[in-house]
Amino acid sequence: MKFLPFVLKHLRRNWVRTLSTVAAMAICIFLFCTLQTVLVSINDLLASTSANRLISRNAVSLVFNLPLSYGARIAAIPGVKRVATTAWFGGSLPAKKEGKADAGSETTTDWSQFFPNMAVEAEPYFQMYPEFVIPPDQYRAFNEDLKGAVIGRKLATKYGWKVGDHFFLESFIPPYRKKDGPFEFQVDAIFDTDPVKHPNTDTNLMLFHYKYLYEATGRRIAAGTYAIEINDASQAGALSKAIDAQFENSDAQTHTETEQAFTASFIAMAGNLAFLLNSIGLAVSFTILLVTANTMSMAVRERRTEIAVLKTLGFSSLQVMGLIVAEAIALGAFGGALGLGGSQGLMWFLLHTPGIKDMLAGIGLSELHLKPVIAAAGFAVALGLGFAAGFVPAMNAYRSRITDMLRTV
Amino acid sequence: MSSGQANAVRATAAPETAEPMVDVRKVRKVYRRDAEELTVLDGIDLQVPAGEFVALMGPSGSGKTTLLNLIAGIDRPTSGQVIVAGTDVARLSESELAKWRSRSVGFIFQFYNLIPVLRAVENVELPLLLTNLSKRERRERALTALKVVGLADRSGHYPRQLSGGQEQRVAIARAIVGDPSVLVADEPTGDLDAKSAEDILALMETLNREFHKTIVMVTHDPRAASRAHVQHHLEKGVLKAD
């Protein structure tokens, strides 16, 4: 520890170089932590899906619906346990409800108040999603109320909603909009989830009767997707093919995949997202390694005489090497701390900015927090980069002879 | 010089035995570049008694700095023995040699070689980082050494804020702070004006006279050499008798 002030003083030798290196390192760690947080959040989201569930959608695009008759035909396929019609509603709280519009005016949708909401065929849907734990009396009330809504605990907390409260939603999808204004809902049930069994299940979600959507839109809509529960998870591939084969020659061909694959594609993340993000992180880290190594090499080269003096004074080669490596690690530590702070700041910003936070919640990324394990990994990467950058110049200093270095001008 | 200062930088009394402080025996130093061999020192024998102030003179390339480096333990002879303060320097391993240097030798460079990011007192304190002294003790000793060289009032200054002569005084304080047996100086006045050079030589004389430091100094300057008790001349790697 008594050498620490000595190490830190050397960092002040060239402020511009030190600060730019620290900034480069900070950007590296910022990117690493941010990308890893996004990746982990997506993985958590995917981990909350079940291997026993398939999602069938229109093969062309999610934008196109599937005929309602498909539900019964899918249910008839051997190996399929149950099928539920679902439709992504894409509703937001209208400003009218929030008191943001003038009384009597047309409602104005407040898109910043967006959260995931979906119309579902309640009975089969909740049977195939046991992770949503609903008190039986509330579930009964919901089933008997066409305008009833089941909301997750997080959503209830966010808006202070309790059972019996009313709210309005307006969809951004034209076929799901009514001429007479937004959809009205009553909170009939609040669901929780078992944090041990289903730690990744998000309760920032609202579900309501598909029938309500169907009736309110003049029975002109079809099914957005079909949620399908199968008997044997190992048959998921074969059943997906069987379902798609059923509608191969129809106008609306289906594309059936596991819930996990569907979730990944739904958030517009290709399967190679992890590879892409990791590649970016690796490329940035390698670049920063070169930058820092160059900085350290220059710093050591400038100080060859001083290194010779240290050795002359009695510092061993190992001690001199340690001082140089410590200096590089200190650069890494400062950059790492700055990068972590930046990443944490970005997360905070995203989760506290109206519009952005709701958009993230809409794709299931409401838990975008810098986890301690990622922060620790990021800091370790920073220290590792510092060590790697300092090692070669330190090794050169270790090997160099005093008399040779004293001759260097 | 106060008695306190004298105690802080402990006076090493000249032993009465005939054992020299520096004993160079039949030393050869040969540099090899590819197949070519260059003999820089050729069979040097030199004895410096404890408490002596010796000047090594000679033209450029005569090998005087090489000999000084061997005595300071920062280089090794090709053959022969270099015994300083009773230790055969050539027999020590690299790490032993580093420890030995920190205890036994104070080196004064021509260009001072202070660390620019450290204040004067921190520069002087540097060798003490290798000891088990507490931070307070290190600081006290460094300040005492600065007092000895007459720069106590400049302890907080950075090297860039000091004149050449003052920088060399700080370098001398750094060399004596560990109370070494031998001081080696490689042209300590070579980069100084006449007045500053005179001050530095006076200081070295004081260190030799009052603190009984054995000093081996390389110089081109006959006036500087005249301050030494003994002058040795090197020519083409061979020590000439005076």
Chain B hits for A315, CB-CB cut-off 8 Å, are 98, 102, 130
Q: Which residues of B touch A9 (CB under 8 A)?
A: 117-118, 122
Using the Cβ of A315 and the Cβ atoms of chain B, whether some distance falls under 8 Å is answered with yes
CA dihedral angle for residue A286, residue A292, residue A295, residue A300, rounded to 10 degrees: -110
Structural domain includes residue B177: yes
SS3 label, residue B206: helix
The reply to whether residue A309 touches residue B109, judged by beta carbons under 8 angstroms, is yes
Q: Is A13 on the interface with B (CB under 8 A)?
A: yes
Chain B residues in contact with A314 by the CB 8 A cut-off are 98-103, 127, 130, 178
DSSP helix, strand, coil percent of chain A (3-state; round to 5): 55, 15, 30
Find the CB nearest B74 among A3, A312, A317: A312
Check B174 against A313: CB less than 8 A apart: yes
What is the spatial order of strands in the sheet that B87-88 belongs to? B36-48, B22-33, B79-84, B87-88
Give the bridge partners for A167, in sequence order: A185
Query: ipTM, 2 decimals?
Result: 0.88
Q: Is the residue at B45 inside a domain?
A: no
Contact A314 B127 (CB under 8 A): yes
Residues of A in contact with B100 (CB under 8 A): 314
Q: Looking at A314-371, list the stretches that DSSP marks H as alpha helix, in order from N- to C-terminal side.
A: 317-352, 356-362
Structure confidence at residue A264 (pLDDT): 64
pLDDT at A339: 93
Q: Indicate whether B34 belongs to any domain.
A: no
Range of the domain at B144: 3-11+50-74+91-240
Q: Is residue B185 part of a domain?
A: yes
Rounded CA separation B205/B199 (Å):
10
Contact check, Cβ <8 Å, A306/B174? no
Average pLDDT over residues B119-137: 94
Full pLDDT tens readout for chain A, 409 residues = 788 888 888 888 888 888 988 998 898 899 888 888 888 887 777 666 667 899 999 999 888 899 999 999 999 999 999 999 999 998 888 754 444 444 444 455 555 667 889 999 999 999 999 889 999 999 999 999 999 999 999 899 988 999 999 999 988 888 898 888 889 999 999 999 887 777 778 888 999 999 999 999 988 889 999 999 999 888 888 899 999 999 999 989 999 988 877 776 655 544 466 677 778 878 887 888 888 788 878 878 888 899 999 999 999 999 999 999 999 999 999 999 999 999 999 988 888 887 777 777 666 676 778 889 999 999 999 999 889 888 988 998 899 889 888 876 5
Is the separation of the CB atoms in A141 and A148 below 8 Å? yes
B130/A6 touch (CB, cutoff 8 Å), yes or no: no
Question: Does A314 contact B107 at a Cβ distance shorter than 8 Å?
Answer: no
**What residues of chain B, 147 to 166, have a C-beta less than 8 Å from chain A?**
none
pLDDT score at A119: 95
Contact A401 B75 (CB under 8 A): yes
User: B139 to chain A, minimum CA–CA distance in Å?
Assistant: 12
- Cα B146 from Cα B152, distance rounded (Å): 5
| pLDDT at residue A97, as a whole number | 43
Do residue A314 and residue B117 have CB atoms under 8 angstroms apart?
Answer: no
Q: What is the pLDDT of residue B242?
A: 59
Which of 319-348 (A) contact B at CB < 8 A? 319
Mutation site, A3, A4, A17, A309, interface B, largest B CB count within 10 A: A309
Please indicate if any CB of chain B lies within 8 Å of the CB of A310: yes
Residue B67 counted as domain residue: yes
Give pLDDT, residue A326. Answer: 93
Provide the pLDDT for residue A52: 85
At B129 the pLDDT is: 93
Mutate to test the interface with B, among A312, A317, A401 (most CBs of B within 10 A): A312
Verify whether the Cβ–Cβ distance A318 to B115 is below 8 Å.
Answer: no
Report the alpha-carbon distance of residue A224 to residue B19 in Å, rounded: 102
As given in the structure block, the two tokens for residue A293 are 């190594």
Residue B95 is assigned to a structural domain of this protein: yes
pLDDT of B3 over the 50 cut: no
- Pick from A3, A12, A305: CB nearest B117: A12
Structure tokens, A61: 């695009």
Chain A residues whose CB is inside 8 A of the B119 CB are: none
B115: chain A residues, CB-CB within 8 Å? 306, 309
Please tell me chain B's helix, strand, coil percentages from 3-state DSSP, rounded to the nearest 5. Answer: 40, 25, 35
Task: Examine residue B59 and state whether it is found in any structural domain, yes or no.
Answer: yes
Asked if B118 lies within 8 A of A9 by C-beta distance, the reply is yes
Q: Does A408 touch chain B (CB under 8 A)?
A: no
Element (H, E) at B224: helix B222-225
Tokens of A324: 């140089």
CA distance B117 to chain A (A): 6
Contact (Cβ atoms closer than 8 angstroms) between residue A15 and residue A169: no
DSSP string spanning B190-202?
A: TTS-HHHHHHHHH
Three-state secondary structure of B152-168: HHHCCCCHHHCCHHHHH
CATH of the domain at B184: 3.40.50.300
**What chain A residue is nearest to B183 in terms of C-alpha separation?**
A313
Name the domain count of chain B.
Answer: 1
The answer as to whether B62 is a domain residue is yes
Q: B85 to chain A, minimum CA–CA distance in Å?
A: 16
**Chain A touched by B29 (CB under 8 Å):** no
Residue B112, chain A, CB below 8 Å: the answer is no
pLDDT at A17: 86
DSSP for residue B237: T
pLDDT value of residue A285: 78
Give how far A309 is from chain B: nearest CA, Å: 7
